[in-house]
């Protein structure tokens, strides 16, 4: 992990323990880190899972790729260094949300394994779940809800993941969500079931 630029800074711990916070809020926080190709279904699944969690009385929140690039990360592009910094910042935000006992669903391509592993490394043990949202690239290209594959094939988008930039598949994800096979609802429910199996929520 890199060192902070400043030296005269000190970490302040909370007076309440994580357990006391969880007891008061009534749930544990977690990071469900959805990763996968563009149009694999990350946003769709994350938003439906968020809705299903809220309907069941859980606090859940989606951090979504494009939206973050309008604000927090508006200074970043798609070069390898910027993609890494994009994920680093989102990882820090997701960690804070989870610390506040929110079930945080992130929907970012996050193509580099090392970047995803870095986020895993900063989150407490047992609270980070890598969810590989998987669909064959032909299926993603066929869906192409934002017309991005079409533009990438026409050479209008440089460094497009899966076409002119790499995607490093998760080696051992906690969740494998095959959106080419299940419906949107089935895929979203899979996340809730897996969170229940891991003791984050009860169904």
Which residues contact ligand ADP (rule: CB under 6 A)?
A: 36, 38-45, 107, 143, 145, 179, 182-184, 187
Q: Is 110 a catalytic residue?
A: yes
Least distance from C-beta 188 to ligand ADP, angstroms?
A: 8
* Helix, strand or coil, per DSSP, at residue 48: helix
Closer to ligand ADP by CB, 30 or 105: give it: 105
Nearer to ligand ADP, 28 or 65 (CB): 65
Catalytic residue among 38, 40, 43, 110: 110
The minimum distance between CB 46 and ligand ADP, in angstroms, equals 8
Summarize the chain as % helix, strand, coil (round to 5): 40, 15, 45
> Taking the alpha carbons of 179, 181, 183, 187 in that order, is the dihedral positive or negative?
negative
Tokens of 36: 């996968």
Residue closer to ligand ADP (CB basis): 27 or 35 = 35
Task: Work out how close the CB of 196 gets to ligand ADP at its nearest, in angstroms, rounded to a whole number.
Answer: 20
Task: Give the ranges where the chain is alpha helix by DSSP (H).
Answer: 18-25, 42-55, 65-70, 80-99, 113-122, 137-143, 148-153, 184-197
The residues assigned a catalytic role are 110
């Amino acid at each position: 992990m890199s060192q902070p630029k400043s030296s005269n800074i000190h970490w302040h711990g909370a007076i309440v323990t994580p357990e006391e916070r969880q007891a008061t809020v009534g749930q544990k926080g977690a990071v469900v880190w959805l990763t996968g190709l563009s149009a694999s279904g990350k946003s769709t699944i994350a938003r439906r899972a968020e809705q299903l969690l809220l309907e069941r009385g859980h606090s859940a929140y989606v951090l979504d790729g494009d939206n973050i690039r309008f604000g927090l990360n508006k200074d970043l592009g798609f070069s390898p260094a910027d993609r890494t910094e994009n994920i680093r910042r989102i990882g820090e935000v997701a960690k804070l949300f989870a610390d506040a006992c929110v079930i945080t669903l992130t929907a970012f391509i996050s193509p580099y394994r090392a970047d995803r592993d870095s986020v895993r490394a900063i989150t407490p043990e047992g609270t980070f779940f890598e969810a590989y949202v998987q669909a064959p690239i032909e299926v993603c290209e066929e869906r192409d809800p934002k017309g991005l594959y079409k533009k990438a094939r026409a050479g209008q988008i440089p460094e497009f993941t899966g076409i002119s930039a790499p995607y490093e598949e998760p080696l051992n994800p906690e969740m494998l969500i095959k959106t080419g096979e299940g419906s949107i609802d089935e895929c979203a429910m899979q996340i809730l079931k897996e969170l229940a199996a891991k003791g984050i929520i009860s169904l």
